């Protein structure tokens, strides 16, 4: 760096005056001219420093404030405490005030850019408002809403605002460069004009002016101009000379240094924004991988757990000493508890990842409450706890929503109440009222007289892996996930949860959910049988079982089944369970082996196939699809018996052609019920009414007609339902069949293949359940024709469906005529 001389630190005006003073009156006119121009240049440089450079710095500060707001918004998504989440709103408001104050400081510096500043000021409130909305949504545990605000509101508004600020900064940069060049030109013109004026007689002035121009002005300004050009290309490695000078060139160098620092800060800001975006994408990827991992681990855990529980159930069927039986029963209880924990973790993971899909189906409130209470009545009776159910007047009979999830919340509340109550009573109260829109607001509460909690313990409820205190897990067990799942399920149904409690006096847990109005029945007073009305001294009387174990054994005895499972231990467990009821079992370890075995066996050799899903060589779904293409196996019951137990897995088995789904670990009662339903001798003698009919190969009008209707499934259903409810179900089915018949005809004539596939799928799923065998077969034929885009065949089948619908419904009503008014009142 060159050493600065005292002369170099003098202002340019002073230098010229010294020269003019030496020359006297000859240079007087030139001096006046030069001074006027140099003062103009000086004002220009000062203006650049005071306005353009300062405004650039303030714009960068404003951009950093936006960046801070963005970081806070993204950070709050990972925060677990609501208090800290809500505290962020105060910080965001403070940043907004600083941002507005910064814009106010910029405005007088660049009056020519007032319109651009007004636009920025108008956009800024929306950005900060979105930020506060995101924080509020996150604090309410509405992560899905927070993400939607980020994607649809916050990020677009933030990018638009940053773009406008960047444009304003770019305009300031351009104006700064233009003004610098113009001032440089003005300076050079002044110097040249002065030199020409004195060149004729004053060689000394020419020499001194040349020296001044080259060494003190032109060279430094040229260097600064070159650095300015490199700065526009983002080159920041050049040192800016002359910043230590106290003249105009030094002022310009200082302004350029400020400008350089501002650009570097802006670039760092851009890098930070890019990093935050990468962090968000990484977080989403991790969430997806976590969901996939949990799904995999569900299968890997369920498979050995199935073996453990199956072996313990088999062991309990043998002769054991009392201590041995006690230990094995303890293992069985612990295994079932582990299974419930796995289910809780999978439920929570599904909710967190946004994979939870709520059903919207019609359900009867009375039936739902009876099922819930029935599942826990024995447990309450064992502890001598009366279990009361009260339904507020005016509740509708039918609602639209997800009955399984509502039952899950009620079961969790009631199970907790029974667990923590040693004496007293438990009360379940349900209220359903209009919410001012087209929905019903269902509110359920469970009150107990148990141990109760203090305010601090209540505050810890409804959080994942948290219980009232650490001793709860040691004394009563549990993961602390149940109430967290209840809260998220209620929130997914546009409701909420809460609790109140007094130590030693019991607790009350409540939830709310918004449900749709059903078109199946008008709102009417709900008159359900309350358990306490039928309770004896020892608690509620148990419901009569549908069939005794001995009856199941006789129904299944001697039937041969094919067990397909790649896990040897699972085959051992399943074989033991099946043979304990008199079934004959052949076992293979993959789908291809199952195909070979079935093809080599005589017709009707096997009553059913129990098929796993995931196997080497050939999986169960592929094997089932291949079997369904062969007419001799089209009616063979194929039952999925697998650890893949999600709703998607169950749907996949049905789509492949399996008749039922049995989840591992195996529930014995469910296993026997399904086997009795599908392969008992009574079902076979009734025509295997629930089996899928064999696909008809190119059926024609001359093809032999099959059985139109079998009453067996409806007779079983009539035994389970009240007469009025059974009649309402038949009426719904008749209306659905006629409407679907019209829709199939319209879709076939219009050539809408997707609609035909959906209608065929729905027809198959309902016709078989009501015993309309001919309609079920035609539904399968329609689905095949739609899948192959054979429009001629779809028109032909649609016409046959119209006739089969009328014939089937007439046969149904001939067997189950409409109720007389006197029967309906029973």
Give domain limits for the chain: 12-283, 357-533, 549-685, 712-824
What pLDDT sits at residue 5?
Answer: 61
d(C-alpha 133, C-alpha 594), whole Å: 58
pLDDT exceeds cutoff 70 at 206:
no
d(C-alpha 37, C-alpha 197), whole Å: 15
Start-to-end C-alpha separation, the chain = 108
Q: Are 393 and 527 in contact (CB under 8 A)?
A: no
Higher pLDDT, 382 or 592: 592
Q: Are 372 and 540 in contact (CB under 8 A)?
A: no
Q: Are 27 and 19 in contact (CB under 8 A)?
A: yes
Which of 774, 768, 656 lies closest to 705 in space, CA to CA? 774
Higher pLDDT, 282 or 471: 282
Sign of the Cα pseudo-torsion (21, 24, 30, 33, in order) = positive
What pLDDT sits at residue 713?
Answer: 61
Higher pLDDT, 666 or 216: 666
> Which tens digit of pLDDT belongs to each residue from 122-177?
888 888 888 888 878 877 777 778 788 888 888 888 888 878 888 877 777 777 77
Q: Are 608 and 639 in contact (CB under 8 A)?
A: yes
Q: At 601, is the secondary structure helix, strand, or coil?
A: coil
Strand 439-448 relative to strand 398-401: parallel, antiparallel, unpaired?
unpaired
> Which tens digit of pLDDT belongs to each residue from 712-771?
667 655 665 567 767 777 787 788 788 888 888 888 888 888 888 878 877 765 676 677
Query: Which CATH architecture describes the domain 549-685?
Result: 3-Layer(aba) Sandwich (3.40)
Please state, in angstroms and as integers, the Cα–Cα distance from residue 706 to each residue in 50, 699, 711, 714, following that order. Answer: 96, 12, 15, 19
Q: At 244, is the secondary structure helix, strand, or coil?
A: coil
Residue 207 — pLDDT band, cuts 50, 70, 90? low
What pLDDT sits at residue 696?
Answer: 33
Question: Among 64-78, 367-381, 542-556, which is the least confidently predicted range?
Answer: 542-556
Are 357-533 and 549-685 the same fold in CATH? no
Q: What is the mean pLDDT of residues 615-629?
A: 91
pLDDT exceeds cutoff 50 at 785:
yes
d(C-alpha 768, C-alpha 750), whole Å: 27
Please state, in angstroms and as integers, the Cα–Cα distance from residue 457 to each residue in 5, 452, 460, following that order. Answer: 78, 9, 5
The reported pTM is 0.37
The share of the chain scoring above pLDDT 70, in percent, equals 69
Q: Are 610 and 641 in contact (CB under 8 A)?
A: yes
Question: What mean pLDDT, rounded, does the chain reach?
Answer: 75
What pLDDT sits at residue 353?
Answer: 60
pLDDT exceeds cutoff 60 at 376:
yes
Tell me whether the omega of the peptide bond preceding residue 665 falls within 30 degrees of 0, making it cis. Answer: yes
What pLDDT sits at residue 443?
Answer: 94
> Looking up tokens 């199939």, which residue turns up?
744
* CATH entry, 357-533, from 3.40.50.150, 3.30.565.10, 3.40.50.720, 3.40.50.10470: 3.30.565.10
Question: Among 30-44, 567-581, 597-611, which is the least confidently predicted range?
Answer: 30-44
Q: At 646, is the secondary structure helix, strand, or coil?
A: coil
Please state, in angstroms and as integers, the Cα–Cα distance from residue 456 to each residue in 139, 451, 496, 505, 651, following that order. Answer: 20, 15, 20, 16, 44
- Which tokens sit at 340? 């419930």
Higher pLDDT, 296 or 357: 357
What pLDDT sits at residue 348?
Answer: 63
d(C-alpha 587, C-alpha 612), whole Å: 12
d(C-alpha 318, C-alpha 131), whole Å: 65
Q: What is the mean pLDDT of residues 265-280?
A: 71
What pLDDT sits at residue 610?
Answer: 95
Please state, in angstroms and as integers, the Cα–Cα distance from residue 656 to each residue in 221, 295, 634, 642, 660, following that order. Answer: 80, 21, 12, 14, 11
């Amino acid at each position: 760096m060159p050493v600065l001389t005292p002369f170099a630190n003098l202002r340019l005006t002073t230098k010229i005056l010294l020269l003019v003073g030496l020359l006297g009156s000859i240079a007087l006119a030139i001096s006046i001219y030069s001074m006027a121009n140099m003062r103009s240049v000086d004002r220009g440089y000062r203006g650049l420093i005071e306005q353009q450079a300062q405004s650039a710095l303030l714009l960068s500060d404003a951009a950093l404030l936006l960046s801070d707001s963005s970081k806070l918004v993204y950070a709050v998504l990972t925060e677990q405490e609501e208090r800290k989440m809500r505290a962020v709103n105060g910080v965001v408001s403070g940043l907004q005030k600083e941002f507005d104050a910064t814009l106010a400081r910029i405005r007088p510096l660049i009056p020519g850019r007032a319109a651009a500043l007004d636009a920025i000021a108008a956009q800024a409130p929306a950005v900060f408002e979105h930020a506060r909305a995101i924080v509020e949504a996150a604090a309410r545990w509405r992560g899905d809403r927070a993400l939607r605000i980020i994607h649809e509101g916050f990020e677009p508004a933030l990018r638009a605002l940053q773009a406008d600020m960047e444009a304003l900064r770019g305009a300031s940069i351009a104006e700064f460069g233009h003004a610098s060049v113009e001032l440089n030109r003005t300076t050079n013109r002044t110097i040249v004009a002065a030199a020409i004026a004195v060149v004729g007689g004053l060689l000394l002035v020419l020499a001194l002016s040349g020296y001044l121009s080259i060494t003190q002005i032109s060279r430094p300004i040229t260097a600064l101009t070159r650095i300015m050009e490199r700065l526009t290309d983002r080159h920041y490695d050049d040192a800016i000379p002359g910043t230590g000078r106290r003249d105009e060139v030094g002022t310009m160098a200082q302004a350029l240094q400020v400008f350089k620092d501002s650009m570097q800060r802006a670039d760092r800001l851009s890098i930070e924004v890019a990093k935050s975006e990468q962090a968000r994408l990484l977080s989403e990827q991790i969430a997806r991988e976590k969901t996939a991992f949990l799904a995999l681990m569900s299968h890997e855990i369920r498979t050995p757990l199935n073996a453990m529980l199956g072996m313990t159930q088999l062991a309990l069927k043998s002769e054991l000493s009392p201590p041995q039986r006690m230990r094995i029963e303890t293992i069985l209880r612990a295994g079932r508890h582990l299974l419930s924990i796995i289910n809780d973790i999978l439920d929570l993971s599904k909710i967190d990842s946004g994979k939870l899909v709520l059903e919207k189906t019609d359900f009867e409130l009375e039936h739902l409450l009876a099922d819930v209470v029935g599942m826990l009545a024995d447990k309450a009776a064992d502890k001598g706890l009366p279990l009361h159910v009260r339904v507020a007047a005016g509740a509708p009979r039918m609602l639209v929503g997800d009955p399984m999830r509502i039952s899950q919340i009620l079961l969790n509340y009631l199970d907790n109440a029974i667990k923590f109550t040693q004496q007293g009573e438990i009360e379940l109260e349900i209220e359903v009222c209009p919410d001012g829109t087209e929905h019903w607001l269902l509110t359920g509460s469970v009150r107990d007289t148990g141990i109760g909690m203090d305010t601090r313990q209540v505050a810890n409820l409804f959080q994942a892996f948290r219980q009232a205190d650490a001793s709860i897990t040691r004394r009563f067990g549990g993961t602390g996930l149940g109430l967290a799942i209840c809260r998220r399920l209620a929130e997914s149904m546009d409701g909420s949860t809460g609790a109140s409690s007094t130590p030693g006096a019991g607790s009350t847990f409540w939830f709310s959910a918004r449900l749709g109005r059903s078109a199946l029945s008008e709102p009417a007073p709900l008159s359900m049988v309350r358990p306490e009305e039928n309770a004896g001294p020892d608690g509620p009387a148990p419901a009569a079982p549908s069939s005794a174990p001995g009856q199941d054994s006789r129904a299944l005895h001697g039937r041969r089944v094919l067990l397909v499972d790649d896990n040897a231990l699972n085959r051992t467990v399943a074989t033991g369970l099946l043979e304990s009821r008199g079934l004959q079992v052949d076992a293979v370890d993959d789908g291809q082996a199952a195909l070979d075995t079935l093809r080599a066996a005589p017709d009707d050799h096997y009553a059913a196939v129990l098929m796993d899903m995931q196997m080497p060589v050939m999986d169960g779904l592929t094997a089932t699809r291949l079997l369904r293409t062969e007419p001799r196996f089209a009616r063979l019951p194929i039952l999925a018996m697998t650890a893949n137990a999600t709703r998607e897995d169950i749907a996949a088995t049905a789509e492949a052609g399996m008749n039922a789904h049995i989840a591992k670990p195996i529930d014995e009662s469910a296993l026997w019920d399904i086997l009795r339903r599908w392969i008992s001798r009574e079902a076979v003698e009734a025509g295997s009414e629930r089996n899928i009919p064999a696909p008809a190969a190119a059926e024609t009008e001359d093809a032999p007609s099959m059985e139109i209707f079998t009453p067996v499934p409806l007779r079983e259903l009539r035994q389970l339902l009240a007469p009025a409810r059974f009649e309402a179900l038949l009426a719904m089915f008749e209306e659905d069949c006629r409407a679907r018949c019209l829709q199939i005809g319209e879709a076939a004539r219009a050539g809408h293949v997707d609609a035909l596939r959906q209608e065929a799928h729905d027809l198959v799923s309902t016709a078989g359940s009501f015993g309309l065998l001919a309609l079920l077969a035609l539904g399968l034929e329609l689905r095949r024709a739609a899948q192959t885009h054979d429009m001629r065949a779809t028109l032909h089948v649609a016409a046959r469906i119209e006739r089969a619908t009328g014939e089937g419904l007439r046969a149904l009503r001939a067997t189950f005529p409409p109720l007389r008014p006197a029967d309906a009142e029973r």
